[in-house]
Structure 1
Amino acid sequence: MIVSHQNRFIFAAIPKTGTHSVRHALREHLGPDDMEQARLFVEKKFPIPEIARMGHGHVSLAEVRPFLGEQMFDDYLKFAFVRNPFDRFISYCAFATSREGSFERDPKRVMRHFLFTAPPHQHIIFRPQHLFITDAGGNLLADEIGKVEEMQLSYDRIAARIGIASTPLDHANRSRRGDYRDYYDQELIDGVARIYGRDIELFGYDY
């Protein structure tokens, strides 16, 4: 997450949505009193003990809201990027098994394991995307939502709304896998739709 007092925005970094590229672009616009929490590539922590103790940079808007106050939270532009859940789940499976390489050897077995045998619901990267940008009642807290599928166009639009110059996004942490649809059968499609149904509905995705 990034909270910029200088430019009055809050960026919620949803896992597996190109967050490192967006962070890199935003950092050149941050002021001395701005806050960032991140772990990969660079390690930064908020000067808020409760947030710093989380140990990761994927802080939700609902989690940071009490520490900013309602006036600031309402006034700042709140944004995030989302990704097709079917594609994002493939990215999760590859990430979670990268050390042993089991996804590369037998992707469907790994996918079935995470969907049906032992879904890691507590893993921050497995969490549905809407949980990072909605409140406890399911109401959307973000003012702008960019999409990974049109990353540069989304970032250009958000930068314009913030009032900062846009810049070409880099491709930090990008995988080299092919089309996500190559990995699925109907059972797996239904499994992802069951777990990430709210993401699919809220962000306008389909298989």
Structure 2
Amino acid sequence: MIVSHRHRFIFAAVPKTGTHAVRQALREQMGDEDLEQVGLFVDKRFPWADLATVRHGHLPLRQVRPHLGEAAFAAYFKFAFVRNPFDRFVSYCAFMLRGGDDFTQRPQAVMRHFLFIEPPEQHVLFQPQASLLVDEDGKALLTDAVGRVEDMQGSYDSLCARIGIASRSLDRVNSSQHGDYRRYYDQTLIDGVAARYALDLELFGYAFEGGR
């Protein structure tokens, strides 16, 4: 997550949505007064003790809100990137088994394991994207805008224009290797992902074949 006092924005880093590429680009616009929490490639912490103990930078907006105060939180432009949950889940499985060939050799078995047998409920990469972006009631989005991985560069350009900073071409960072997500699914897996990530599908308008 990045909190920029200079440019009055908050970037909520949703895992498996190209966040490292966005961070790299946004850092070029940051000043000494700006804050970031991140735990991969770079190790930075927020100045608030309860958040600084978290080992990663994928923090819910609702947890940062009280530290900034209601006036600043309301005034700052809050944004994130989101991704089709069916595509994101394939990326998660490939990422978790990177360095081996288990996912390549038996992708559906791996997907069933994470979905139905031993779901890693507390792992931030496994949790719904909406869990980082909704209010305390878990229903209303706290973001002012969301970019989409499906139009990563176009979304980033538009977000930069709204913030009032220069855009640039995004790098490809920390990506997992897999093919078109649709070829990994059968109906049981489609139903399983749809149930687990129902709020993501609803809030962000995705479906198995794509979305808005």
TM-score, with structure 2 as normaliser? 0.95
Q: Which amino acid aligns with 2:70?
A: E
Residue in 2 that maps onto 1:186: 187
3-state SS of the aligned residue for 1:109? helix
Report the CA distance between 1:133 and its aligned residue.
0.6
Distance 1:134 1:36, change over 3 A: same
Q: Are 2:28 and 1:8 equivalent residues in the alignment? A: no
The CA deviation string for residues 126-157 of structure 1, in whole angstroms up to 9 with x for no partner, is 00000111012111100010000001111111
Question: How many residue pairs align between the two structures?
Answer: 207
Q: What is the distance in 2 between the residues matched to 1:122 and 1:175?
A: 21
CA contact (8 A) 2:21 2:171 kept: yes
Report the CA distance between 1:100 and its aligned residue.
4.5
3-state SS of the aligned residue for 1:93? helix
The equivalences for 1:112-131 within 5 A come to: 112-131=112-131
Residue in 1 that maps onto 2:85: 85
The CA deviation string for residues 30-80 of structure 1, in whole angstroms up to 9 with x for no partner, is 010100111111111111111110110101101111111000000000000
- Spell out structure 1 runs of 4+ moving beyond 6 A: none
Q: What is the distance in 1 between the residues matched to 2:162 and 2:28?
A: 17
Q: What is the distance in 2 between the residues matched to 1:199 and 1:145?
A: 12
Residue in 2 that maps onto 1:202: 203
Q: What is the distance in 2 between the residues matched to 1:48 and 1:120?
A: 27
Aligned CA RMSD, in angstroms, stands at: 0.9
3-state SS of the aligned residue for 1:72? helix
3-state SS of the aligned residue for 2:169? coil
3-state SS of the aligned residue for 2:55? coil
Q: What is the distance in 2 between the residues matched to 1:21 and 1:147?
A: 13
Q: Are 2:145 and 1:152 equivalent residues in the alignment? A: no
Identity over the aligned pairs, expressed in percent? Answer: 59
CA contact (8 A) 2:9 2:163 kept: yes
Q: Are 2:63 and 1:63 equivalent residues in the alignment? A: yes
3-state SS of the aligned residue for 1:79? strand
Q: Which amino acid aligns with 2:205?
A: G
Shifted more, 115-124 versus 98-107: the winner is 98-107
Q: What is the distance in 2 between the residues matched to 1:33 and 1:98?
A: 37
Residue in 1 that maps onto 2:133: 133
Q: What is the distance in 2 between the residues matched to 1:98 and 1:169?
A: 23
Q: Which amino acid aligns with 1:146?
A: G
Residue in 1 that maps onto 2:177: 176
Q: What is the distance in 1 between the residues matched to 2:84 and 2:30?
A: 29
Q: Are 2:147 and 1:161 equivalent residues in the alignment? A: no
3-state SS of the aligned residue for 1:71? helix
CA contact (8 A) 2:94 2:178 kept: no
Query: Please, which runs of 5 or more residues in structure 1 have no aligned partner?
Result: none
Query: Please, which runs of 5 or more residues in structure 2 have no aligned partner?
Result: none
Report the CA distance between 1:184 and its aligned residue.
0.5
Q: What is the distance in 2 between the residues matched to 1:167 and 1:99?
A: 31
